Structure 1
Amino acid sequence: MLYRRIKLFCIFLLFATHFQIGWSKILLGWLEYIEFPELGIVAKAKMDTGTFLSSLHSIDKEYFQKNGEKWVRFILEIENQRAKKKHKKTHLIVERPIERFTSVISSNGISNRRPVVLMTICLGNQLYQEQFTLNDRSHMIYPILIGRKSIEHMGLIDVSHIYTMQQPQCNSKNNIN
């Protein structure tokens, strides 16, 4: 009996050590609040393991040159969760340099070419610089998708929960991950 208890205790220690080392990532729900600190907007984002790149709802894209680089100007139409009146969309004109273009096959099977831009986001108390494709998502429920490329260094997804993180609380002292 004592031998069996010692054996179970050793197995427990092995698992505890494994999970402590192997599970250093945070646990995220399938929906989380993220902030775009440069824009002062907090929004709902769907953690989408079915898509590789993150996607951001944008309308009225305009391409232009700035200092010899390709840029895009777009309207970010999003429900700001910090606004006093919920369910009212904020419209912001945003300009970003284009990192590249990528072809994306949407859920309906249609392929289209989208610009990719870098955006700084805050999740919990961590800042991340992430790549987003720009696309009109007005017909979708969630205007922001966080894809696998971003999720892999943010944490693990628990699909049975939403909003596991605190409201975004980043400041200029936070380092970008």
Structure 2
Amino acid sequence: MPTRYLLLSFIAGAGLLAGCAQAPLSSQDDRLDTLATTAELDTMLSGMERRLARQCTNNDHGGALAAQEARLDEIGGEVGEIGSMLRSLRTEIRGLSSETSAPQQECPTSDVAALENKTLLGRNEWVGFPNIGTYLKARIDSGANTGSISAREITEFEREGDDWVRFKLAVDEEDIVVDEARDKWIEAEVTRRVRIIQASGEESRPVITLLMRLGPIKQNVDFTLNDRSHLDFPVLLGRRFMMDIALIDVAQTYLHERPEYPGGEPAEKAAEDEAIDRKDDKE
């Protein structure tokens, strides 16, 4: 109770200081006597306490809000810093992803399958010509483009509007050939012409296509016609023939069996004729 009376005295004093119109002293004494009852005092003081409590509460909320705002500002700064870190990390991840997704260079591998599909040839091989009926020795030369077959008495003529050629094999007594083919006339259509440039001058040679057999290979091959009787091999095979179908092992010779034709020697006797070339290589 004493606290409430003190509050009442404080309110009365505040009224006097505010310059409020004052009732006569006798009236105030009467009013104080009337207010002095316990019930009225309790009611008045309770109302004042509630108002003060609400004010205090409002003041506390304001302080709490200020504290929360300050904390939110602090959290906002932390979130901004974390966001900056996340953006930097995202940039690094993109860089790593681009490096990972970049096409990797494959290590070179040997194409074993492609090699297995090609026929291995020595630097010298036996070749057969079914339409002529003979076998001949051939030099394999990847430096030459088109193959060549030794020919003599080359005569060009026209047949039904197309260019043809007639010739005989230019072979000497030392060349290994079926005897019946030595003086046999051979006719073939001219498929094209090639220009040959040599130290002695320039010439144009006809190109024909002949069916040829070499080991497991049997196909049509282009040959220029030229007298090779002064050379060791009446046939030269160039890279146009070998392309995509054959490889050369220059350390070996006659890897494939000599074809057989009527009037010729059996294949098993070819070793004697091959030995001549091996002897010349050693010399």
After alignment, is 157-166 or 74-83 more displaced?
A: 74-83
Distance (Å, rounded) in 1 between the aligned partners of 2:110 and 2:193: 40
The corresponding residue for 1:174 is none
- Paired positions, count: 151
Q: Does 1:26 align with 2:119?
A: yes
Residue 99 (structure 1) aligned with residue 191 (structure 2): yes
Paired with 1:109 and 1:160, the residues of 2 have a C-alpha distance of 33
Q: Of 248, 251, 255, which residue of structure 2 is paired with 1:157?
A: 248
Structure 2: any 5+ residue segments left out of the alignment? 1-106, 262-283
Partner of 2:144: 51
Partner of 2:221: 130
Residue type at the aligned position of 1:73: R
Say whether the 8 Å CA contact 1:124–1:169 is kept in structure 2: no
Gaps of 5+ in 1: 1-13, 171-177
Question: Does the 8 A contact of 1:56 with 1:144 survive in 2?
Answer: yes
In 1, distance between residues paired with 2:260 and 2:216?
Answer: 5
Aligned partners of 1:112, 1:165: CA distance in 2, in Å?
35
Q: Residues 11-53 of structure 1: CA distance to partner in whole angstroms, max 9, x if unpaired?
A: xxx99x8353131212100000000001110110000112100
Instruction: Calculate the TM-score normalised by the size of structure 1.
Output: 0.76
| Secondary structure of residue in 1 paired with 2:256 | coil
Q: CA RMSD in A?
A: 2.5
CA contact (8 A) 1:117 1:131 kept: yes
Compute the displacement of 1:167 (Å): 2.2
Inter-partner Cα distance in structure 2 for 1:141 and 1:89: 18
1:143 Cα deviation after fit: 1.2
Report the counterpart of residue 39 of structure 1 in structure 2. 132
Which has the higher mean CA deviation after the structures are superposed, 161-170 or 141-150?
161-170
Name the structure with the higher strand share.
1
What's the TM-score once normalised by structure 2's chain length?
0.49
Tell me the distance in 1 between the aligned counterparts of 2:238 and 2:143: 7
What does the per-residue CA deviation read over 1:130-155, in whole Å, with 9 as the maximum and x for residues that have no partner?
Answer: 11000111221211100110021331
Higher Cα radius of gyration: 2
Deviation at 1:104, TM superposition (A): 1.7
Give the distance between the partners of 2:131 and 2:234, measured in 1 at CA.
18
Partner residue, 1:114: 205
* Kept after mapping to 1: 8 A contact 2:133/2:181: no
